[in-house]
Amino acid sequence: MLETLRGAIAYMREKQILHKLGVAISIAIIATACYILYHMLQGLDVDDLYSALRDTEIRTVVLAGLCVAAGYFTLTFYDLFALRAIGRDKVPYRVAAFAGFTSYSIGHNVGASVFTGGVVRYRIYSAWDLSAVDVAKVCFLAGLTFWLGNAAVLGLGVAYHPEAAASIDKLPIWLNRAVAIAILIGLCVYVTWVWIKPREVGRGSWSVVLPGGPLTLLQIVIGIVDLGFCALAMYILVPDEPHVGFVVVAVIFVSATLLGFASHSPGGLGVFDAAMLVGLFQFDREELLAGMLLFRVLYYLVPFILSVILLSLRELIVGLRAKRVSAALRKLDEAANPGQGSPRGSGSSAS
């Protein structure tokens, strides 16, 4: 049975069926989100939206911004954990934090975060003698931390409050709870599987040793804390009335984030927003949109601008250092070979 499954997957990869299927799913998600947004935003009062933005207290925005900052701080440990897991202990935290922050903030906004984040990481880590294979392993383990955290948050949240998920997927409450319990069971099985003995995935130089049981639990905690801070920022920005519990907002937020991630739309644009509007239907539409816009500014726009500035400064510094090193080497070469100066000097001495 297992060999048959492997053969089927290999065949689909060879024929690029999985890639085509992924593209079709992304297009379907985006198209559905656009249709939902079109109908939900009909009759939107722009003046009320502007008033909701203007009436938002500065204290609320600052508090949400601090939660976003805490989320990004936690996110930097994705890379640090992955580097330590592949044995790259010499890379300091500051480099891992810089690579993690810039790769995720740019990947979130540009889209196709696996590719864009990998490119940014390689540019930074290559200076520390990490190969493309090493960077691919870091991306894989960081992504594993992300998905384990999502599975834990969704499983716990939906099992506790299945009505929140039902507001988005429109499935029966009992089915949502059953799926959540299945996710939690799968998570426990995975932790047990890696706890029993070292597990390895991939082949040859591309093989990765999966973190053991205790380290996997640490991965899950990192993912939960990261998502928890982000969901808390969204919870702070949604309207106060009617009162909706944090767990409900967190489940809907994580579900909307995953849908946006699956669509490969830059920043989940359109998909995330449609899911939030559908899931949090009980709020005033203009007030909810105001909170979502502020969240996009805090979580996507500000970190993206900071990342572009930081990467530009880094490239400038690296370029200046390279020029200095080149100039110093040229001077040493001229000092070691005084008779072999410029072509003009050589010509005059020959004459």
Q: Work out the percent of the chain whose per-residue pLDDT is above 90.
A: 36
How do residues 264-299 score in pLDDT, each as one tens digit? Answer: 666 677 788 888 888 888 888 888 888 999 998 999
Question: With contact defined as beta carbons under 8 Å apart, do 52 and 60 qualify?
Answer: no
pLDDT at 80 (0 to 100):
94
Report the distance separating Cα 139 and Cα 137, nearest Å: 5
pLDDT at 230 (0 to 100):
93
Mean pLDDT of the chain: 82
DSSP class of residue 210 equals: P
Report the distance separating Cα 166 and Cα 292, nearest Å: 21
Question: With contact defined as beta carbons under 8 Å apart, do 133 and 144 qualify?
Answer: no
Is pLDDT above 50 for 41?
yes
How do residues 164-189 score in pLDDT, each as one tens digit? Answer: 888 888 889 999 999 999 999 999 99
Question: With contact defined as beta carbons under 8 Å apart, do 79 and 93 qualify?
Answer: no
Report the distance separating Cα 310 and Cα 298, nearest Å: 17
Long-range contacts: 210-215, Cβ < 8 Å, 24+?
A: 210/144, 211/81, 211/85, 211/141, 215/81, 215/85
Q: Which residue has the higher pLDDT, 204 or 248?
A: 248
Is pLDDT above 50 for 228?
yes
Question: Where is average pLDDT lowest: 16-25, 103-112, 291-300?
Answer: 16-25
Is pLDDT above 90 for 52?
no
